[in-house]
Amino acid sequence: MRDAMSRRIIIIGANAAGLEAASAARKTDRDAEITLVTGEPHLAYSRCGLPYVLAGEIPSFQDLIVFPPSYYKMMRLEVRTETHAVSINPKEKKVELKSGREIEQEEYDSLIISTGASPFTPPIKGLEKRGVFTLRTIEDGMRIKEAMENAKRAVIIGAGFIGIEMAHAFREHGIEATMVELLPNILPAALDRDMAQAAQRVLEERGVRVLTGTSVEEILGEGKVEGVVAGGGRIEADIVIVSTGARPNTELARQAGVEIGPTRGIRVNPRMMTSIQDIYAAGDCAESYSLLTGQPTLSQLGTTAVRMGRVAGINAAGGYSTFPGVLSSAVTKAFDIEIGSTGLTEVQAQRLGFKTVSGVVTSKTRARYYPGGKDIRVKVVAEPDSGRVIGCQIIGGEEVTQRINAASIAIQMGMTVWELAKSDTCYAPPLNETWEALTLASDNAARRMKEPR
């Protein structure tokens, strides 16, 4: 029987945001009754690791599961797998849950919606054929892994992070890989064209065929994939991966009367509270705000999800926490190349009405005379009048992540290129050049503008 004095928290969705919300809620309220509900058969796992299992760099999909069942027992979290939230009744503060044929009503004091997102599939003829996949769940990964066993050629529709990671996975297994991107360059949400071209050259050197500014018109085959029509020509394929982004899962929230924002994500305030009292949202289903523009944005990243989840969990349990917003800082690795970005690209900034100046430098990750140093290319984007840093993109053989982190902090602190160029950085022959590449790129940008007196 439920303790009438204890707070009842229900979390719909038990992956990155949901699990972090549950953990934060438990640390905030030691006596709360906390229930995690997920339609999947697995406890929380890392979706970001799926391509690396397929590449053979992580042994098993089971390795992606974040915590063993004992963790949930220790944290006194009730977990209901293969259970779907059918509806929310905000007036009575009840959630209708369905598990198999069984349907029950559960009361809540606080509700957190962390329903994630679903792959977006463009209207391409032939999507229903066998051999066409999206990658979102462990089950998706298992189906792709099975198909890879007898595949020789793959086409990847979309050249975002997942597309590049899947190209890497296919090439690691000797499968021919062709990426087809509708926009003018790969990674269009993270890189400007000049940086994207540098990344594309590396991918092509590793055997990936890249077609940009090209659409897939049709998927061919009699029941099973045999190829695609793209750019007016035919590309043979045994597997097609559709990696064209994800749409927030908002139907449950929408039906409950929760307000949806202009990004198609659930609108939330800085405490992650929705338009309905005591209902919070976090993760890929919720919209955030850009730290640079103050405008609503979708930041469907694992880092954003856990930060949102923590804030939602603390507040749902009676504490107080706020989420400041995002720069959508992101990194990936494919083959022996690391790619990262934070803030705005020049294209994004100019589309939003910013004037921009950029500085680019190609350097080494170690002293030039020290063996094993790798190329690294850094681009810093700034406003010409104020000199404020508003974006950074990096491509390199190693040490990209921490440089992106440093650039992210610089943007959050409102630093200018003049300040960043004069940063006190460290050097040792096995670890870095005397002049840090991030400061050199900032100095290059600074030279193109006049420092205010």
In the predicted model, residues of the chain with pLDDT beneath 50 are 1
The boundaries of the domain holding residue 157 are 121-244
Give me the CATH number covering residue 411.
3.30.390.30
Are 441 and 399 part of one and the same domain? yes
C-beta neighbour count of 89 within 10 angstroms: 13
pLDDT for res 3: 60
Question: 3-state DSSP call for residue 15?
Answer: coil
Query: What is the 3-class SS of 130-190, one letter each residue?
Result: ECEECCCCHHHHHHHHHHHCCCCEEEEECCCHHHHHHHHHHHHCCCEEEEEECCCCCCCCC
Contact status, residue 60 vs residue 37, Cβ threshold 8 Å: no
Residue 127, beta-bridge partner list? none
Q: Annotated catalytic, 426?
A: no
99 and 150 together in one domain: no
389: closest CA among 414, 425, 360, 409? 414
- Does 149 fall in a domain? yes
Question: What is the number of domains present in the chain?
Answer: 3
> Would you tell me the crossing angle of helices 400-412 and 437-446 to the nearest 10 degrees?
50
- 330 assigned to some structural domain: no
* Distance separating alpha carbons of residues 402 and 84, to the nearest angstrom: 39
Residue 92 has a pLDDT of 96
- Do 364 and 311 lie in a common domain? no
pLDDT of residue 43: 87
Say yes or no: 98 and 129 in one domain: no
pLDDT at 450: 78
Which CATH number does the domain housing residue 281 bear?
3.50.50.60
pLDDT of residue 408: 98
Q: Is residue 451 part of a domain?
A: no
Same domain, 275 and 207: no
Closest-CA residue to 291 (of 388, 178, 206, 205): 388
- Note whether 28 and 114 are same-domain residues: yes
CA–CA separation, 74 and 143 (whole Å) = 33
- Would 200 be classed as within a structural domain? yes
Tell whether 326 is covered by a domain: no
How does pLDDT run across 162-183, given as a tens digit for each residue?
A: 999 999 999 999 999 999 999 9
Tell me, yes or no, whether 30 and 71 share the same domain.
yes
What is the separation of C-alpha 229 from the centre of its chain, rounded to a whole number of angstroms?
Answer: 29
Does residue 134 sit in the same domain as residue 238?
Answer: yes
Residues 68 and 109 in one domain: yes
Q: Are strands 375-382 and 389-396 parallel, antiparallel or unpaired?
A: antiparallel
424 and 369 in one domain? Answer: yes
Residue 1: what pLDDT?
44
Distance CA 298, CA 436 (A): 32
Domain boundary among 256, 285, 316: 316
- Annotated catalytic residue within 48, 285, 392, 426: 48
For residue 424, is it within any domain? Answer: yes
Choose the final residue of a domain: 207, 226, 244: 244
* Alpha-helix runs per DSSP H in 263-391: 302-316, 346-351
Q: Are residues 264 and 165 in the same domain?
A: no
Residue 93 lies in a domain: yes
- Residue 231 is predicted with a pLDDT of 87
What three-state secondary structure class fits 280?
strand
Does residue 403 share a domain with residue 361?
yes
What is the C-alpha R_g of the chain?
23
Q: Are 54 and 64 in contact (CB under 8 A)?
A: no
Q: What pLDDT, on a 0 to 100 scale, did the predictor assign at position 255?
A: 97
